[in-house]
Amino acid sequence: MTTIRINDTVPGSRVLAFGDYRPARVVTNDDLAATVDTNDEWIRSRVGIVERRVAAEDETIVDMAAQAGGKALAASGLAPADIDLVIVATCSAETPMPSHAASVAHRLGIAAPGAYDLNAACAGFCYALAAADAAVRTGSARNALVIGAEKMSQWIDWSDRSTCIIFADGAGAAVVGAAAEPGVGPVAWGSDGGQSDRIRIGSRHEYIRQDGQAVFRWATTAVAPVALAACERAGVAPAELAAVVPHQANLRIIEAIARKVKAHNAVVADDIVRSGNTSGASIPIALSRMVERGDVPSGAPALLVGFGAGLAYAAQVIQIP
Ligand code: UT7
């Protein structure tokens, strides 16, 4: 039988740098209360959002992804020619093809990389990071650019108070390269297609609809065990974690997951307060801003956990660059 060789395997991959882009336009709770029946107090206490960012009409997912990706690339110290793979995680694509990833790569001067989009909704960044980690470890890519980018605003019914107060726009990116020691742990992931109708955009003519209470119950019960499985697989005890970065869905969900994980020494990301729920972009935006502020030391372990439509979920432990 023919043997298939994998020649250039490396012991692990690690995140070399993060970058993020948030659109300039800030929309406050009071701004929304001027057009729908809601108020600042309800949104802060039920969801935790104070303000969110909304893209300009002509600002695209590719625009935002290229901004975030360019920042991550510059911070990594690598050149465009060093990148062999570009993955864009998005569930709010304005066009089904070509892939956003190919356009982003072209914008950034990355010539001929493997390029594709991936849709695992709000878990998308963790899925894409797992794919990039595998590509780097098996020698399929020397370095990968992984981006979560969303323009949720174009799929929102701005008269529906149950969704328009939650979702927002933005992009976050990570450059992943080879490492002598693993800096990205094994992913714990899965999905429950039987609950696909809980969060959905039914067709190109429809808006986002979600069964908020059911998703809330699922997120506060089913997601923490996935996060703990990721710690177990990485051999990192929750008490060793320096940061916990759940998908920024709702501050009450974030706090419930953090409580159950019992990461007593960790900073818990609360970027939702100022960035809103940017779906697949929320984890890399939160991480990028944490690192920029110096909230977590370089080399420290952070737990990422994404969850959302699908109902897809994924978690992994990474080393902060
Ligand atoms: O990122 C993808 C994953 N998505 C999630 O994880 C979302 C999970 N779900 C949630 O975060 C929450 O369920 C929501 C934020 C969507 C809603 O919060 P809730 O605490 O579950 O509120 P609710 O739907 O149970 O509504 C409570 C009350 C209702 O009024 P009555 O029937 O009690 O009189 C709603 O009509 O609040 C009302 N309400 C609002 N009031 C003011 C619903 N939306 C609003 C609003 N402003 N925007």
pLDDT tens digit string along 147-193? Answer: 999 999 999 999 999 999 999 999 999 999 999 999 999 999 999 99
Whether 7 maps to a domain, the answer reads no
For residue 159, the enclosing domain spans: 12-179
Query: For residue 98, is the peptide bond before it cis, meaning its omega torsion is within 30 degrees of 0?
Result: yes
Would you say residue 7 has pLDDT above 80?
no
Last residue of a domain, one of 152, 179, 206: 179
Question: What does the block give as tokens for 308?
Answer: 């959302």
Active site residues: 122, 247, 277
Contact call for residues 321 and 15 (beta carbons, < 8 A): yes
Report the interhelical angle of 61-76 vs 100-107 (nearest 10°).
50
Same domain, 58 and 170: yes
CB distance 252 to ligand 1 below 6 Å: no
How many of the other CB atoms lie within 10 Å of CB of 176? Answer: 31
Provide the pLDDT confidence category of residue 8 given band limits of 50, 70 and 90: confident
Conformation bin of residue 294: beta by default, left when phi > 0, alpha when psi is -120 to 50: left
What is the Cα–Cα distance from 211 to 196, expressed in whole angstroms? Answer: 11
Question: Which atom of ligand 1 lies closest to the CA of 38?
Answer: 47
In this structure, which amino acid lies at residue 186?
A: P
User: From atom 38 of ligand 1, which residue's Cα is the shortest distance away?
Assistant: 162
Q: What is the CATH number of the domain that holds 218?
A: 3.40.47.10
Instruction: Tell me, using a 6 A CB cutoff, whether residue 216 lines ligand 1.
Output: yes
Q: Does the C-beta of 91 come closer than 6 Å to ligand 1? A: no
Asked if the structure places residue 290 within a domain, the reply is yes
Report the mean per-residue pLDDT for the chain: 97
Closest C-alpha to ligand 1, atom 1: 249
Tell whether 171 and 216 lie within a shared domain: no
Q: Give pLDDT tens digits for 276-312.
A: 999 999 999 999 999 999 999 999 999 999 999 999 9
How far is residue 140's CA from residue 138's CA, in Å, rounded to a whole number? 6
Q: Which of 47, 122, 162 to mutate to test the pocket of ligand 1 (most atoms within 8 A of CB)?
A: 162
Mapped onto helix, strand or coil, the DSSP state of residue 140 is: coil
Split into its structural domains, the chain has a count of 2
Ligand 1 centroid from CA 65, angstroms: 30
Q: Which of 158, 139, 148, 155 is nearest to 280 (CA)?
A: 148
- Looking at the structure, tell me whether residues 27 and 73 fall in a common domain: yes
Tokens of 84: 């062999």
Q: Is residue 5 part of a domain?
A: no
Domain end, chosen from 179, 210, 235, is at 179
Same domain, 71 and 174: yes
Same domain, 168 and 34: yes
Q: Which of 149, 179, 209 is the last residue of a domain?
A: 179
pLDDT in tens, 58-113: 999 999 999 999 999 999 999 999 999 999 999 999 899 999 999 999 999 999 99
15 forms beta bridges with 176
Confidence of residue 16 (pLDDT cuts 50, 70, 90): very high
Clarify whether residues 225 and 79 are in a common domain: no
